[in-house]
Amino acid sequence: MDTKIKFAVFGQGHIGKRHAEMIRRNPDTQLIAVADVLTKDKLGLEGIEEKFYSSIEALLSAHPEVEVVCICTPNGLHAEHSLKALGAGKNIVCEKPMALRRKDCEAIIYKALQMHRQVFCVMQNRFSPPSEWLKHIVENKIIGETYMVQLNCYWNRDDRYYKKGGWKGTQELDGGTLFTQFSHFIDILYWLFGDITDIQARFNDFTHSSSTEFEDSGYVNFRFVDGGIGCINYSTAIWDSNLESSISIIGSKGSVKVGGQYMDKVEYCHVQDYTLPVLAPTNPANDYGAYKGSANNHGYVIQNVVDTIKGRTTITTNALEGMKVVDIIERIYSYRKPGRKS
């Protein structure tokens, strides 16, 4: 009896191709079909074995056997495509962000409950060993009470990234730097410390006046609902290459910092009566072999879908958590002045 879970992927850009490859490599899954509005030759998909469709409607109509649909389209289309897949009775794996507005996330959750289907939100940085370690020392109060948290995200995104005629950089389909580049790190912030309040923010556009419709840099300060204060400093105006994504935590029993380009290295740990354990390698074997971009842990995401559907575990990032990340970003962006990138 075939017990493989049958998948389809809508959107075959860089991330959609990664989803497809991780599904192909998982022994418990089968990729039935993929879809994209661009043609196979433009996407470089001439050699794939799976069925190819130019719309999600055509894919869903042709393959009632599909159990899970990965939504890997531009940010601003996530809600529309998620609702169509859920309406067809499919579980969904939605790339970040879940949507660009909280009310659209609420519509997705309502439809999922109505159809008795699961919504898996892709926030794969939770699987990195440093992130899991931070969760352990914060949740178990090893670092004590939280006093201060600083999240720094400094990446390069220049004209090599923002292609003319594409969706990246548009308000309608991209949504902003916090949605596209840094929502994974805001998810880690929320996962570790909970919701925020008393938000203050300032934004600027240093190098993207001709390539995006929103800011490239900002700093945000706030209080955590559960205690402590924090700030987010971010920019995509870094010259030539990424600088870092880091989080520094000051607690009553010590201080830690996790940094590197992708918040994947423990750079400092000084905690009362505590010795930093040896952490597993950041690139997990569960990503099914060498694959470009595998440090993003998408193999773990697909395995979590399998294990959850088969009743072995629970969702790593559920729909309510995905909605909270959108809610936090939407509240931060409410401080942007209408019509200005500041």
Task: Determine, yes or no, domain membership for 63.
Answer: yes
pLDDT at 18: 96
Q: How confident is the model at residue 263 (pLDDT cuts 50, 70, 90)?
A: very high
pLDDT at 280: 79
Q: Are residues 161 and 243 in the same domain?
A: yes
Q: Are residues 87 and 156 in the same domain?
A: no
Q: Are residues 233 and 153 in the same domain?
A: yes
Q: How confident is the model at residue 295 (pLDDT cuts 50, 70, 90)?
A: very low
Token pair in block for residue 158: 């220049």
Question: Given a cut of 50, is residue 298 above it in pLDDT?
Answer: yes
CA-wise closest residue to 187 among 228, 137, 128, 145 = 128
**Rg, Å, the chain Cα set:** 20
CATH number at 207 reads 3.30.360.10
- For 49, 148, 166, 206, 220, the CA distances from 341, given in Å and listed in that order, are 45, 28, 20, 10, 15
pLDDT in tens, 14-73: 999 999 999 999 999 999 999 999 999 999 999 899 999 999 999 999 999 999 999 999
Q: Are residues 136 and 251 in the same domain?
A: yes
Distance (Å, whole) CA 231 – CA 151: 6
Q: pTM for this one?
A: 0.94
Question: Given a cut of 90, is residue 265 above it in pLDDT?
Answer: yes
Q: Are 18 and 291 in contact (CB under 8 A)?
A: yes
Q: Are residues 253 and 117 in the same domain?
A: no
Q: Are 29 and 302 in contact (CB under 8 A)?
A: yes
Q: Are residues 118 and 237 in the same domain?
A: no
b/e per residue, 186-197, with b = 16+ CB within 10 A? bbbbbbbbeebe
pLDDT in tens, 331-340: 999 999 876 6
β-strand partners of 200: 221
Q: Are residues 114 and 134 in the same domain?
A: no
Q: Are 258 and 247 in contact (CB under 8 A)?
A: yes
pLDDT in tens, 201-252: 999 999 999 999 999 999 999 999 999 999 999 999 999 999 999 999 999 9
Distance (Å, whole) CA 74 – CA 72: 7
Name the percent of the chain lying above pLDDT 70.
Answer: 94
What integer is the mean pLDDT of 263-272? 97
pLDDT at 291: 39
Work out how many domains the chain is built from and give that number.
Answer: 2
pLDDT at 338: 73
How buried is residue 250: exposed, middle or buried, by Cβ count under 10 Å (0-12/13-18/19+)? middle
What integer is the mean pLDDT of 290-315? 81
**Residue 202 is part of which domain span?**
129-273
> Rounded to a whole number, what is the distance in angstroms from the first to the last CA of the chain?
58
Distance (Å, whole) CA 196 – CA 18: 32
Q: Are residues 116 and 52 in the same domain?
A: yes
Question: Given a cut of 90, is residue 301 above it in pLDDT?
Answer: yes
Report CA 213 to chain centroid distance, whole Å. 21
Q: Are residues 14 and 137 in the same domain?
A: no
Look at residues 273, 292, 311 and tell me which one is the last residue of a structural domain.
273
- For 20, 74, 125, 169, the CA distances from 164, given in Å and listed in that order, are 26, 15, 30, 9
Report CA 262 to chain centroid distance, whole Å. 12
Q: Are residues 175 and 81 in the same domain?
A: no
CATH number at 82 reads 3.40.50.720
